[in-house]
Structure 1
Amino acid sequence: MGILTSIFFITLVVRSVSFEKLVESLGNARPATLVAGVVLLVAAYVLRIKRSQIMLAAVNPEVTFGRSAVPYMVSIAANNVLPFRVGDILRAINFSSWLAVSTASILAVMMLERLMDLLVIIGFFGGALFLFHAQESRELALQHSTSLFLILGAVLIAGLLFFPMLLRSPVEWLMTVIRYFTPRLESNIRPFVHRIFCTVTAIIHRPLMLLLLGCTVLSWFFEACTFYMVACAVPNMSNPAAGWLAMPVGTLSTALPSSPGYVGTFHYFVIVAARALGNSPDASAAFAVLIHLILWLPVTLCGASCFVYWTIKRSSAPPRRPVKSEF
């Protein structure tokens, strides 16, 4: 299904773009500006790894920045080249001994990361839509109502982040349903769910959450700057400010089923965002190809290097035992 979805969106892109003009736009891209975009992307990932380390340290204070960087980058790289978001599974299961943290705690950290990322991305999206200047009053009303809906969604996610126990009741109801049909499965899952909530409770308190949200906002701001710099690197982009809109649109499009690396879906929605601000189809397509390359290649290479490093270290050293804690 994912490959068929990618083929569908690639077909839409190819039908609207001149291949000769696309190649010309790519050939005229400014290398120095692209390098600046890569540097900003590195800063974004440094902040995300630091955020992960801070949360893991609530469970195991001995987790270092370097040790938390390995599973994070390996998971991102694996998601770029393998289907079914295998990288998330690898991070949760295969790196428990590496981090000396239980799988339940890693899942709790990943859940909080996703919520914080989604909060900031839809906040960016709602803000970008609100700042648009539509040509007609109907379009303006639609944009403002959509941005209001997104901002309300961000407020809801923020409430879950600061008060995660709000999720406890729905989860308990689900566990009751599972127990009704398969009591044995429920008895196996319940301790695992309990450890997840214990970890979330240990991580979330207001001063620390403000720090984590600050890291999240800064990291996605740097990634948005990467989009903007890549847009500036394409000479025939008449409105490079489209990069600010393309960041949340392109990132949210990765939630759709697609081939590994989000080929097709990511490109199509980035092109739509760029064209929405008046850029030509060929310039928008060149921008989509370049930003996908910038986001995919350095991260995948870094993750592959981390995977090799982890494999060597794992084979040459005894496994680390998880620290003793209630989690």
Structure 2
Amino acid sequence: MTDSSPKKQRNLLKTLPGLLISAFFLWYTFHKITFAEFRAVRLVQPIWIVGVLAFTLASYTLRCLRWTRMMLPTGASFGVCARVLMTSLAANNILPLRIGDIMRVFTYAGDLGTSPSVILSTVILEKLLDIFVLGLLFVSTMGSIATHSYHVAAYTSLAISFAGLLVLLVGAKPLQPRLAAIFQKLPTNGIMTKLEHWITLALDATARLGVGGSLLLLVYSAVIWTCEGMIFVSALKLVGVPTDRVGPWLAVSFANLSYLIPSSPGAIGPFELAVKTSLVSHGAPASQSALFGLMLHVWLLISITGAGGIIFLLHRIKIHNHTPLLTEIETLPVELP
């Protein structure tokens, strides 16, 4: 009990910079927008509500299917994988320090019938796939928001990451002993040890699935982000923001890559600025672009957090778990394995 207060103070200090960053991004995005512009927002084509709902459902159902595929060697069912994944996504949206991912690795290892290290290997692979597809989409749509030198750097980085991902997906098994030999020759320190461990976990995850299963995950990822892009397309049609065909696809890639910026849970602030910058570069008015980013972000946060939260609560009621969530979180390890 005596360690509880200092631990809470340390966590507060860790989250405060992110909150300040989010506050700055929100101010920078919205400080020139008047209240009248907020009130002027209208649903221009309400039929596109169907598109927003359908593609949101499709995107997150496919995420659950993809993770179930990753967990296939463990024997975990789709129902359990979907519950754990949606719960972790909801927690990431409202709790700091990516607590949702840590819960997925540690809290639900028993439910999934495997070890935290195995779950972590799939989480790492999941992130690598998402970042690769988003990077590909961003590079192919960034157009006017980047200089020529940035284009060269971006294409070079994408080519390297594509080669690396291809090797990871196709040659995971033979790579493991070679990488172990390389790391043995490098200086031993905390960072290098963690890096070796995480790379080994990602290789383990792909090796368990085989080449065909790993390539299927790449297809899943492409379809997932196509559905995510269609959420943006549908929402733009819904509120009537004028932009070209490229605008929403740049917005979906830039906005989701903005989650890499340290900020508050849910990337509040960076997401809105990324959407505004993307749409303005493709002909949309600045105020409409910013308000669109805010409304869409609110929808994504409410729908995913709401779905994950309901699933989480129903499961706790089913298993008669009355332990307060914050108490459970305090028992989690301070870092990933």
TM-score under structure 1 length normalisation: 0.82
Q: Partners in 2 of 1:179 and 1:229 — Cα distance?
A: 43
The sequence identity of aligned pairs, in percent, is: 27
State the shift of 1:258 in Å. Answer: 1.1
State the shift of 1:97 in Å. Answer: 0.8
Q: Partners in 1 of 2:77 and 2:314 — Cα distance?
A: 16
Deviations 1:235-257 (A, max 9, x none): 24243641111001000001111
TM-score under structure 2 length normalisation: 0.79
Is residue 123–residue 150 contact of structure 1 (8 Å, CA) maintained in 2? no
Which of 35, 59, 67 is the aligned partner of 1:19? 35
Question: What is the RMSD computed on CA atoms of the aligned residues?
Answer: 2.9
Is residue 53–residue 68 contact of structure 1 (8 Å, CA) maintained in 2? yes
1:154 is aligned to 2:167: no
Is residue 206–residue 214 contact of structure 2 (8 Å, CA) maintained in 1? no
Q: Partners in 1 of 2:214 and 2:88 — Cα distance?
A: 24
- 1:8 is paired with a residue whose SS is helix
Check 1:114–1:78 CA distance in 2 against 1; reply closer, same or farther (3 A cut).
same
Q: Please give the residue correspondences for 1:76-95 in structure 2 after superposition, counting only pairs within 5 Å.
A: 76-95=89-108
Q: Partners in 2 of 1:221 and 1:120 — Cα distance?
A: 10
Deviations 1:166-206 (A, max 9, x none): 654566567943599xxxxx8xx9xx879946842543421
Report the equivalent of 1:215: 220
Q: Please give the residue correspondences for 1:1-327 in structure 2 after superposition, counting only pairs within 5 Å.
A: 1-25=17-41, 27-58=42-73, 60-61=74-75, 63-129=76-142, 132=143, 134=144, 141-142=148-149, 144-158=151-165, 159-164=167-172, 165=175, 168=180, 176-178=188-190, 196=201, 199-200=204-205, 202-239=207-244, 241-315=246-320
Deviations 1:67-122 (A, max 9, x none): 11011000000011111111000110000111111111100110110111111110
Higher relative contact order (CA 8 A, sep 6+): 1
Check 1:284–1:205 CA distance in 2 against 1; reply closer, same or farther (3 A cut).
same
State the shift of 1:42 in Å. Answer: 1.1
Q: Partners in 2 of 1:156 and 1:29 — Cα distance?
A: 44
AA of the residue aligned to 2:170: F
- 1:258 is paired with a residue whose SS is coil
Unmatched 5+ stretches in structure 1: 181-185, 317-327
Q: How many pairs align?
A: 299
Check 1:28–1:107 CA distance in 2 against 1; reply closer, same or farther (3 A cut).
same
Check 1:174–1:51 CA distance in 2 against 1; reply closer, same or farther (3 A cut).
farther
Is residue 44–residue 239 contact of structure 2 (8 Å, CA) maintained in 1? yes
